[in-house]
Amino acid sequence: MRRLPFIPARDPRHRTAALALYRALLRSASRIPLPGDAPSCKPGAVARLVRRRFAGNRAYTSLRLVYASMAAGYRFLTLFARAQTPGSPEHAQVVHH
């Protein structure tokens, strides 16, 4: 019996995990307070970056690339959770980017 290739888009467990991560990242990105004086800090700027990165990673079928992308997403989720408090180093890092 021939083994079928792993296609993340057709795996329901991966799809559920990716959508949950996507929603959590968008939710925490919208809760980060951004200063209004910077021209690049428009409302929803961080969420726009999250959407763009997920759209760019959509075509990944390699397990190595999918795993690295999901791990990076969870690291950013931690960063966004800590960046919600103004004055924290994580908040400064997000605003500087």
Output the six-digit token pair for 90: 């994580």
> Which residue's entry shows tokens 């960046």?
83
For residue range 53-91, list pLDDT tens digits in order. Answer: 989 988 888 888 989 999 999 999 999 999 988 888 988
Residue spans per domain, the chain: 10-96
- Per-residue pLDDT at 61: 80
Output the six-digit token pair for 61: 């079928």
Q: 77 and 17 in contact (C-beta within 8 Å)?
A: no
- Per-residue pLDDT at 1: 66
| pTM of the shown model | 0.82
